[in-house]
């Protein structure tokens, strides 16, 4: 059997024509969970099964979360024919059985590899084994591949990621391809036909506005990641998403910061990939991650990314055009003190040349709904008066009267 598969790999690798990424995937930003932010290399079959259970029981599945993604360190060794095996110690039942369990919950199965000979944690990467690995993933029932950029010295990113894209396509099982190239080579300029999402920055960490220096690389807090998205919105569209990294909601920031973090990722049309321990999360964390009004902004069919329309003294107003003439407006308080808001809608004209949309409350009246308070606030005919605590947000959905 293994010899047959090896011959099939050779045939596929020399006969592929018109390979492409799989269509009709990620038409809205992907939603799911990834093991890395909370667990790193401490990932096991038991953890993943319990996480799948928790995603269902917590209401996350009903809210739209689909993918259960095992990040680095699941790997064992390659066998004599070069086929990758999972760690026997950590995944004793094997990946096919684990994938079947995830699918039995109505969820999708995600896995991780790397363009280099080794992953970031030193496990076997996919360099030189792309077609073999793609066939193995298909046999396991994998639906999502996160493909990292460690140990990539001398590798051309376009070639490396295109090779894995072609391998996945040749294996004939639709796989959402997540390009984790850290934005080093501006993937937003070349990755649309290659993957369904691409990292725009280095790794995130669970702080508001910091940089953690690790020597040869850094991880960044929420505001640092946010600022690195400048100018990228023109590249996002259904099936092709800017990825500012997995979320840190529930991993140690304040509730206000978690709320702001989740809101901003929704406004950015970013993939909503939870990175916390969903088995043990607090009620408050669960309510943040399952806020259907905020999620609806993220999953809007237009797929247009928000932009900062107004910025003054630590207070920013982010605007996101939505379907049916609606808008999402996020008031972000980046500062260390509360801000008093008296916002006259009619005096704040917002124009989005990229989307060909404008918000003009002098011309049109909109119904206003607060998505965190879950209450209607009247219309844009009346000024918005509120106090925004430090590191917090107000997120509103504006729907044109009569729509």
pLDDT truncated to tens, each residue of the chain (403 aa)?
454 445 454 444 444 447 899 999 999 999 999 999 999 999 999 999 999 999 999 999 999 999 999 999 999 999 999 999 999 999 999 999 999 999 999 999 999 999 999 999 999 999 999 999 999 999 999 999 999 999 999 999 999 999 999 999 999 999 999 999 999 999 999 999 999 999 999 999 999 999 998 888 899 999 999 999 999 999 999 999 999 999 999 999 999 999 999 999 999 999 999 999 999 999 999 999 999 999 999 999 999 999 999 999 999 999 999 999 999 999 999 999 999 999 999 999 999 999 999 999 999 999 999 999 999 999 999 999 999 999 999 999 999 987 5
Backbone angles phi, psi at 274, to 5 degrees: -65, 145
Is 26-298's fold the same as 307-400's?
A: no
Is the CATH code 2.60.40.1180 the one for domain 307-400? yes
pTM of the model: 0.95
pLDDT digits (tens, 9 = 90+) for 173-226: 999 999 999 999 999 999 999 999 999 999 999 999 999 988 888 999 999 999
Measure the CA–CA gap between 114 and 125, rounded to whole angstroms: 5
Per DSSP bridges, beta strands 144-148 and 108-114 are parallel
Domain boundaries, the chain: 26-298, 307-400
Residues 163 and 13: beta-carbon distance below 8 Å: no
Q: Report the CATH number of the 26-298 domain.
A: 3.20.20.70
Measure the CA–CA gap between 365 and 346, rounded to whole angstroms: 9
Q: Is 148 part of the annotated catalytic residue set?
A: yes
Measure the CA–CA gap between 220 and 292, rounded to whole angstroms: 27
Neighbour tally for 357: CB within 10 Å: 17
**Sequence-distant (≥ 6) Cβ neighbours of residue 73 within 8 angstroms:** 40, 41, 43, 87, 90, 119, 121, 123
Residues 266 and 320: beta-carbon distance below 8 Å: no
Which of 203, 258, 277, 392 is catalytic? The answer is: 203
Q: Is 392 part of the annotated catalytic residue set?
A: no
Backbone angles phi, psi at 144, to 5 degrees: -155, 130
Which of 148, 166, 258, 392 is catalytic? The answer is: 148
Q: Which of 26, 108, 102, 60 is nearest to 277 (CA)?
A: 60
């Amino acid at each position: 059997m293994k010899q047959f598969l090896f011959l099939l790999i050779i045939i596929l690798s020399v006969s592929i024509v018109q390979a492409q990424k799989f269509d009709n995937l990620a038409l809205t930003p992907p939603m799911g969970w990834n093991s890395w932010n909370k667990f790193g290399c401490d990932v096991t079959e038991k953890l993943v099964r319990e996480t799948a259970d928790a995603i269902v029981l917590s209401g996350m599945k009903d809210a739209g979360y689909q993918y259960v993604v095992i990040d680095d360190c699941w790997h064992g060794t390659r066998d004599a024919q070069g086929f990758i095996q999972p760690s026997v110690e950590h995944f004793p039942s094997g990946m096919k059985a684990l994938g079947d369990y995830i699918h039995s919950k109505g969820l999708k199965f995600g896995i991780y590899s790397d363009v280099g000979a080794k992953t970031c944690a030193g496990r076997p990467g996919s360099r030189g084994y792309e077609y073999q690995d793609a066939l193995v993933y298909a046999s396991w029932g994998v639906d999502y591949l996160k493909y990292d950029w460690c140990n990539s010295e001398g590798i051309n990113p376009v070639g490396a990621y295109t090779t894995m894209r072609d391998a996945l396509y040749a294996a004939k099982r639709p796989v959402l391809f997540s390009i984790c190239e850290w934005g080093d080579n501006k993937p937003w300029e070349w990755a649309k036909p290659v993957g369904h999402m691409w990292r725009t920055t280095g790794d995130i960490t669970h702080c508001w506005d910091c940089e953690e220096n690790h020597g040869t690389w850094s991880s960044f807090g929420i505001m640092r990641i946010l600022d690195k998205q400048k100018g990228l919105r023109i590249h996002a569209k259904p099936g092709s998403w800017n990825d500012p990294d997995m979320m840190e909601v529930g991993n140690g920031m304040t509730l206000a910061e978690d709320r702001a973090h989740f809101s901003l990722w929704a406004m950015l049309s970013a993939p909503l990939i939870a990175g916390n321990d969903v088995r043990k999360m607090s009620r408050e964390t669960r309510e943040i991650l399952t806020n259907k009004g905020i999620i609806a902004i993220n999953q809007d069919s237009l797929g247009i990314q928000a932009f900062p329309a107004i910025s003054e003294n630590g207070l920013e107003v982010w605007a996101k055009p939505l379907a049916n003439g609606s808008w999402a407006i996020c008031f972000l308080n980046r500062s260390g003190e509360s801000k008093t808001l008296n916002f006259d809608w009619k005096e704040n004209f917002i124009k989005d040349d990229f989307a060909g949309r404008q918000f003009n409350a002098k011309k049109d009246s909109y119904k206003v709904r607060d998505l965190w308070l879950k209450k209607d606030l009247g219309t844009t005919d009346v000024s918005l008066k509120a106090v925004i605590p430090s590191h917090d947000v107000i997120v509103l959905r504006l729907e044109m009267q009569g729509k």
